[in-house]
Amino acid sequence: MSDKLVIIPTYNEKENIEAIIRAALSVDEAFDVLIVDDSSPDGTSDIVKRLIPEFNGRLHLEIRTTKDGLGRAYVHGFKWALANNFEYIFEMDADFSHNPKDLPRLYQALVEGADLAIGSRYSNGVNVVNWPMNRVLMSYFASKYVRVITNLPVHDATAGFVGYRAKVLQTLDLDKIQFKGYGFQIEMKYKTWIKKFKLKEVPIIFTDRTLGESKISSDIIGEAVFGVISLRLRNMFGKL
């Protein structure tokens, strides 16, 4: 087994799942892949099950019974990764917004001393392809907003293409991770930073999905907007 694991949460990704698995497992530095599927009604997990024998123990599947948000799916994946002794643990979407070919650069940042490597759209201008302008603006200003409220020294606070050293995930209290959607990405970075771990942004280009449907919703956005303020306040009062 490799010491590097890519966790991919899925909900109704039948159009993308086989191709993203093949792409992630064909990156040079052998990464294992864990799919965390929330019992997708479109049968995503059946496709994964069919592929498992082909990859000699490098492809793993965890199925959760209900759709419970990407944050919860990642926490499940993190616990699985720690229980299985992975040292380098990555988050990646199934929809090819994140290019699996960038995984080695995230990994390299961890090897060179970062505890959290962030695939960043905004460390070097705005590197987003095919997103409608309102999504780009919302995401860009969300990062600015997070920075103003929390001081978190990161240009892309909602980035979902990241890598952790295992010790970060061992240190954070995973059962206390509260947010389910975009807020989850902010919460993880903020908690990692206040524990004095080293964060490093690695520039990436983000491309909008071409297949399947987006799962973003207005309550996820609301959770993030108010959640950031509550994170800051709870930290001020020593409650994190």
Binding site for ligand GTP (CB under 6 A): 9-11, 13, 36-38, 67-70, 73, 93-95, 97, 208-209, 214-216
Q: Closer CB to ligand GTP, residue 11 or residue 197?
A: 11
Give φ, ψ of 19 to 5 degrees. Answer: -65, -40
Task: List, as one string, the DSSP characters of 17-80.
Answer: HHHHHHHHHTSSS--EEEEEE---TT-HHHHHHHHGGGGTT-EEEEE-SS---HHHHHHHHHHH
Consecutive H or E run containing 221? helix 218-236
Q: How far is the CB of 235 from ligand GTP (least distance, A)?
A: 26
22's contact among ligand GTP, Mg ion, none, with CB below 5 to 8 A by partner kind, is: none
Q: Closer CB to ligand GTP, residue 97 or residue 192?
A: 97
Q: Closer CB to Mg ion, residue 143 or residue 150?
A: 143
Among 16, 97, 143, 192, binds Mg ion (CB under 5 A): 97
Q: Which residue is nearest to ligand GTP (CB)?
A: 214
Give φ, ψ of 62 to 5 degrees. Answer: -120, 130
Per the listing, tokens 């940042």 go with 109
Per the listing, tokens 């409220």 go with 149
Q: How far is the CB of 195 from ligand GTP (least distance, A)?
A: 25
Beta bridge partners of 6: 33, 90
120's contact among ligand GTP, Mg ion, none, with CB below 5 to 8 A by partner kind, is: none
Residues that bind Mg ion (CB under 5 A): 93, 95, 97, 209
